[in-house]
Every structure is written in C-alpha cells, then in structure tokens.
C-alpha cells in the first residue's frame, strides 16, 4: 500500500496516502508556501482504518519531504503552474508522472517544459509491500539507478540499478516469477498508471493509443488469470503473418505491388492454373504446326517466324509457372497459418471454459459497478472471447450515447481488473486515474465514480488515487456533500 510520494517538481507538495479514496487536488488559485525539508527516510506511522470525510480544503496534508535531496530550497520553483497544457485532460499531471517515474517508468509528459522539469528533478515513493516498508528515490539526472531503503534492514540506503528495481516490483506487486511467457513489469504497471499524453485513457484495452491489440494480451491475460502460453502462441502467429507479408513484398516472382491474403491466394492460384493450362495447350499446338500462321498474336505482338513464336510462348510459360509456384507457396503458408489460428481459437475456448468461474466473477464486477452508478439505464457486460489472435476483451456500457460513456467504461474496466488481480495476488492494491479521465465527465457521473471507488476500496483494502482540478472537486462536493475521501496533497500554482 502506498504511504507517501514526494518530488521537487515545481508546485509539488508531498502526498501522504490513506486506505481508500485519495484525492490529489490541482489548485491554481493559491501559491505554494516555502516549507522546510523533513528528516531522511521517516515513514508515516499513522494508519487510518476509516476514510475521514473531507470538505473543501479543510484538511490539507503538510509537506513532508522524503529524501536527502529535499534539503534543497525549492520555494521559488514551487511557484510554477500545474495547468500547463491544453485541451481535455490537459495532458499528464506532474503527480502521475512523478509516481510513474518513482515506480520505474519513464515518467515522461508531452509538454516540453514539463519534460525538462522531470529531467532536473527527483522523486521518492514510500510503500508497504512484501512485509516491509520500502523507500526509493530516483533522480532525472541519473535515471538508471535508485537509492533504496527498507524497514526490513538496519542498513543505510543503497544504490540499486533500475532493472533490479523493476524486477523486485514485478515480483512484489504482480507476482512475476521471471518465466519466459510472462509480461514485463512495465506493461502491467501501465494499466495502473495510464498515460493520458499517449492515449492511455482512450481505450480500456490499450494503455497506449498505438499499442497493437496483440501486445495488450500478455498483461491483461496475467491480470485476469488467463493462460500466458496461449498469449505467446498468439504473438508467434501474429509474427508469422507479418513475416509472410514481408516475404511477399520482396518476392520477384510476384507482380510488383501484388499482396496475397488468405482469401486471394487460393483464388489467384486457381486462376493461374487455368491460365497455365490454356497456354500449355497453345504451346503444344504451336510446336505441332510447322506452318505457323504469320498473323498469330503472341505475347502482345505479331510473329511471322514459327521458331520465334514458340520461343515467346516458352518465355511466357516460364514466367507463368514461376508466378504460380510463388502463389502456391503463399497459399500453402496461408492455409497453415489458418490451421494454426483455428487450433489457437479452440485452445482459447477450452481455456476460457476452464477459467469460467474467475472470468464470470470479473465480468460480474464490471456489471455490478456499472449498475451501481447508472442503474438499469446502462446495461453493462465484460466479455472475454476466443479469436484467431487469441483472447479478445469486450467491455461494453450500453444505453444512450452521452458524454463520458467511454471514460466510465474505462473506469469500470480498470476497477474490475484491479480488484480481480488484487484478489488473486497478481496485482497491486492501488490504482491511479489522472485528471484527464474526469475532465469532461458530468458531475453526476464523476461523483458516482468516486463514491463507488471509495466503497470498493474500503471493502477490498485497496487505494484509489485520483487527480482532480479544484473546481471539479468543488463541483462534486456540492453535488454529493457526503462523499468521503482523503485529500492526500494539494499541488499549488501561481
């Protein structure tokens, strides 16, 4: 469980987390006050069993920096603005970038100024995992290493390579064992810290707008408890199809620009076979006819010499046979890939039947979460189906089209995913949604989502972290004065 997050990014005040719903507020109406750095590696000892209700700005958590680097005076830099990008979601917040960076990610943001700030800053995260409280500090000046300290040892903080940090996080947070068919730690964490700058909040199935569908299978299969071997088989099949397409582009026996698909290869092969049979008959007639007609059309021209006519037909036959052989190769290859795809689909169907109970539980969570927010007006279902490329996930939120339907579909999917994985020990006990998810939501939907997250986390012993602009939070507070949450930090600006 997350305890604390600090960064010397401009306008950043350290966040202290509690169980349940944690709100990081982006406030552009006040200016950051200078603060004194706290002692090194001091973990917060307070544990809140009940999430206190917060009203407005009554419970701002103080600035308690974590690492040695926080001894620098950041008062001037803290007067920068968080609202530095435009349009829906305004890009990735510094809060999300700092947490991602501390947990082994790139922490990148699209805005040029913010990228420079990240490169010049350090971030520290403290959390409890594997029975110990771990504090890790990572600097943009040396992102390949971290300074790590654990409550399980009396040793001073030590330097750890980034790859080792990611490996430990994968084992601790996601139960990774290092098997060849497992997804990477970062591909898993990307679903918990979605990057708004790269379309991470556009599609529940993808954490990046350009992520191929087959690349989403390994992490989702792990989080939903599906067979990783079948995912690898799907990736291998996809790679074989790409290789086949590449081979066609470089094959000189095919006409320039011709591309053969599963459907066209067999049809082209049949057409070429018929054309070849006709041409062979014509060649036989030409060889037998010593008095070849001088006006016989051959290969687009006229031939008066029987020998020349026969030679032209021979050349045309050779080219046609080479083309037919190439098409036959690709037709056989397509047929083999189709056979493998059908076998894979049947294996996936069998696997889904064997994991019916767990998948049904995840689907029921998705449906129940949507029902608690919208009632019967938006029927919802999460379906996992067998396809030629392996598993296919279909989260659907029905009803009339409207603002925020896509965002709430993603919210329900992520919450169901996080709870399912946490229950199975294959996912962490926290989930972050950046402000982009809530930027365009109607206030009723935003309030319903936050209330649901608070109640689910209280039952599941989890944390839901959300970054909200202060006006949006105030709007939600007026709509639902009873909403209970923990204000983990206020990020200030001029």
Same domain, 292 and 186: no
CA distance 318 to 151: 77
Same domain, 191 and 264: no
Mean pLDDT, all residues of the chain: 77
Tens digit of each residue's pLDDT (9 = 90 or more) over 27-80 = 877 554 433 333 322 333 333 332 233 333 333 333 333 333 323 333 333 333
Same domain, 256 and 277: yes
Instruction: With respect to residue 331, please indicate whether it lies within any of the assigned structural domains.
Output: yes
Helix (H) or strand (E) holding 144: strand 142-150
Instruction: With respect to residue 381, please indicate whether it lies within any of the assigned structural domains.
Output: no
Q: Work out the average pLDDT over 10-22.
A: 94
Count of other CB atoms within 10 angstroms of residue 423: 15
Q: For the stretch 213-222, what's the b/e string if a residue is b when 16 or more beta carbons lie within 10 angstroms of its beta carbon? A: bbbbbbbbbb
Same domain, 203 and 272: no
Instruction: With respect to residue 383, please indicate whether it lies within any of the assigned structural domains.
Output: no
* pLDDT of 341 over the 50 cut: yes
Total domain count for the chain? 2
Q: CB within 8 A of 458, min separation 6: which ones?
A: 19, 20, 51
What separation in angstroms does the CA of 419 have from each of 147, 171, 286, 351, 467? 31, 18, 77, 21, 20
Torsional class of 292: left (φ above 0), alpha (ψ -120 to 50), beta (otherwise): beta
> For residue 171, how far is the Cα from the chain centroid?
19
* pLDDT of 303 over the 70 cut: no
Tens digit of each residue's pLDDT (9 = 90 or more) over 428-482 = 999 999 999 998 899 999 999 999 999 999 999 999 999 999 999 999 999 999 9
Domain hosting residue 97, numbered range = 2-226+402-492
Same domain, 178 and 54: yes
Q: Work out the average pLDDT over 84-113.
A: 71
For 205-238, the DSSP string reads: T-SSTT--HHHHHHHHHHHTT--HHHHHHHHHHH
Instruction: With respect to residue 252, please indicate whether it lies within any of the assigned structural domains.
Output: yes
pTM, two decimal places: 0.72
Same domain, 204 and 65: yes
Tens digit of each residue's pLDDT (9 = 90 or more) over 347-367 = 777 777 777 888 899 999 999
Tens digit of each residue's pLDDT (9 = 90 or more) over 133-143 = 999 999 988 99
Tens digit of each residue's pLDDT (9 = 90 or more) over 190-229 = 999 999 888 999 999 999 988 887 788 889 999 999 887 7
Same domain, 70 and 11: yes
Same domain, 260 and 218: no
Instruction: With respect to residue 241, please indicate whether it lies within any of the assigned structural domains.
Output: yes
Same domain, 137 and 178: yes
* pLDDT of 330 over the 80 cut: no
Instruction: With respect to residue 58, please indicate whether it lies within any of the assigned structural domains.
Output: yes
Q: Residue 427: helix, strand or coil by DSSP?
A: coil
Same domain, 65 and 184: yes
Q: Where are the beta strands (DSSP E) in 409-494?
A: 430-433, 463-469, 486-492
Instruction: With respect to residue 47, please indicate whether it lies within any of the assigned structural domains.
Output: yes
Last residue of a domain, one of 317, 352, 387: 352
Same domain, 256 and 212: no
pLDDT for the residue numbered 71: 31
Same domain, 461 and 423: yes
Which CATH number goes with the domain that contains 146?
3.40.50
């Amino acid at each position: 469980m997350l305890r604390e997050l600090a960064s010397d990014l401009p306008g950043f005040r350290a966040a202290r987390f509690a169980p349940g719903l944690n709100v990081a507020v982006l406030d552009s109406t006040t200016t950051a006050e200078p603060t004194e750095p706290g002692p090194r590696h001091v973990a917060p000892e307070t544990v809140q069993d009940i999430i206190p209700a917060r009203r407005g700005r009554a419970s701002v958590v103080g600035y308690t920096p974590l690492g040695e680097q926080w001894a620098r005076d950041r008062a001037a830099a803290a007067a920068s603005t968080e609202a530095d990008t435009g349009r829906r979601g305004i890009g990735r917040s510094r809060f999300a970038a700092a947490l991602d960076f501390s947990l082994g990610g790139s922490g990148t943001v699209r805005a040029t100024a913010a990228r420079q700030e990240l490169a010049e800053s350090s971030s520290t995260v403290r959390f409890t995992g594997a029975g110990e409280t771990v504090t890790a500090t990572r600097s943009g000046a040396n992102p390949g290493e971290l300074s790590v300290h654990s409550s399980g040892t009396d040793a001073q903080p030590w330097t750890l390579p980034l790859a080792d940090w990611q490996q430990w996080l994968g084992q601790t947070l996601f139960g990774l064992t290092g098997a060849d068919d497992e997804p990477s730690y970062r591909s898993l964490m990307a679903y918990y810290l979605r990057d708004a700058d790269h379309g991470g909040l556009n599609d529940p199935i993808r954490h990046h707008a350009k992520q191929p569908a087959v690349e989403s299978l390994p992490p989702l299969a792990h989080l939903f408890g599906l067979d990783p071997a079948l995912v690898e088989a799907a990736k291998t099949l996809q790679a074989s199809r790409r290789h086949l397409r590449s081979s066609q582009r470089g094959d000189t026996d095919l006409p320039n620009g011709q591309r053969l698909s599963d459907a066209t290869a067999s049809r082209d092969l049949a057409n070429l076979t018929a054309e070849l049979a006709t041409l062979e008959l014509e060649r036989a007639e030409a060889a037998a006819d010593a008095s070849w007609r001088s006006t016989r059309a051959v290969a687009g021209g006229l031939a008066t010499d029987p020998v020349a006519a026969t030679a032209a037909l021979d050349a045309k036959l050779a080219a046609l046979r080479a083309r037919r052989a190439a098409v036959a190769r690709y037709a056989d290859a397509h047929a083999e890939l189709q056979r493998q795809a059908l076998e894979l689909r049947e294996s996936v169907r069998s696997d889904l039947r064997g994991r019916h109970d767990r998948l049904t539980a995840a689907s029921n969570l998705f449906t129940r979460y949507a029902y608690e927010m919208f009632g019967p007006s938006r029927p919802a279902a999460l379906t996992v189906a067998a396809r030629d490329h392996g598993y296919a996930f279909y989260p659907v939120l029905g009803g009339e089209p409207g603002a925020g339907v896509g965002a709430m579909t993603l919210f329900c999917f992520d919450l169901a995913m996080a709870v399912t994985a946490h229950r199975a020990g294959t996912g962490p006990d926290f989930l972050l949604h950046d402000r982009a998810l809530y930027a365009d939501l109607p206030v009723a939907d935003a309030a319903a989502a936050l209330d649901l997250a608070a109640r689910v986390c209280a039952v599941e012993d989890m944390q839901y972290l959300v970054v909200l602009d202060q006006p949006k939070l105030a709007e939600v507070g007026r709509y639902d004065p009873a909403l209970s949450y923990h204000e983990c930090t206020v990020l200030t600006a001029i």
